[in-house]
Amino acid sequence: MNDETSFSKETSIINEASMDTETSVEMEASSALQPDRVSEWAQLHAGIEACRACPLCQQIHHKVPGQGDPNAPLMIIGEGPGETEDLEGLAFVGEAGKLLTRMLDAIGMPRDRVYICNTVKCRPPRNRTPEASETQACFPFLERQIQLVRPKVLLLMGRPAAATILGETISITRTRGTWFERDGMYALVTYHPSALLRDPGNKRFAWQDLQSLRDRLMDLKLYPDLYGPYL
């Protein structure tokens, strides 16, 4: 499978899947969680909804907590909501989100099998990069999401997400494709889909990263129904 074509296949199916994301989340929240964890998630979402801890909340339509499988072994963390995400209150549903769906499809991963969120839950004006103070103010919510989902693998998309989790300033071009271990989790750094839309030439590197991600998920036997049977 070559690089860019891998992200381009079955586009119509993927777009339909993207539109069904909210429905999937509601079903998962009602069927897959123990009652106490439903309450914990509800508290988290209420806290995000009420939060005024940084200026990003001043010009938004919706908070964007994140969504997906609340028990997912794989958690994807991006930078912050964009325009479509702000309007819909869902993470990764704009053009970058559609590309993410195609990227996951290229490694045989249905989007509703992962948990997806951002470092900040409010859209930065004009999609600017969140300030360090804003990321810091929002970090307790991200930290709580990680505690609740308990993922084994993190995919960190873009420099702000990588810097937030790894606790250091990084260069994406130098760090992408690198695995880290943090608090018992494996973390892989790669390009944010928005950056790939701006510079499609980097898709070939992102495809290498996705293959590495798929191999790690296989090695850890985290999605046996997708990648098994394991020998």
Interface residues with ligand SF4 (CB under 6 A) are: 48, 51-54, 56-57, 120-122, 134, 137-138
Comparing CA positions, the residue from 212, 13, 197, 2 lying closest to residue 105 is 13
Residue (107 or 146) nearer to ligand SF4, CB: 146
Q: How far is the CB of 120 from ligand SF4 (least distance, A)?
A: 4
Q: How far is the CB of 164 from ligand SF4 (least distance, A)?
A: 12
Q: Is 161 helix (H, G, I), strand (E, B) or coil?
A: helix
Residue (118 or 175) nearer to ligand SF4, CB: 118
Q: How far is the CB of 159 from ligand SF4 (least distance, A)?
A: 17
Residue (112 or 134) nearer to ligand SF4, CB: 134
* Chain Cα centroid distance, residue 166: 16
Distances (CA, A) of 64 to 79, 180, 181: 12, 27, 27
Q: Give dist(CA 136, CA 187) in Å, integer.
A: 19
Residue (110 or 140) nearer to ligand SF4, CB: 140
The token pair that represents 177 in the structure block:
């494709």
Please report which residue ranges of 20-131 form alpha helices under DSSP H: 21-31, 35-50, 83-88, 95-106
Q: How far is the CB of 51 from ligand SF4 (least distance, A)?
A: 3
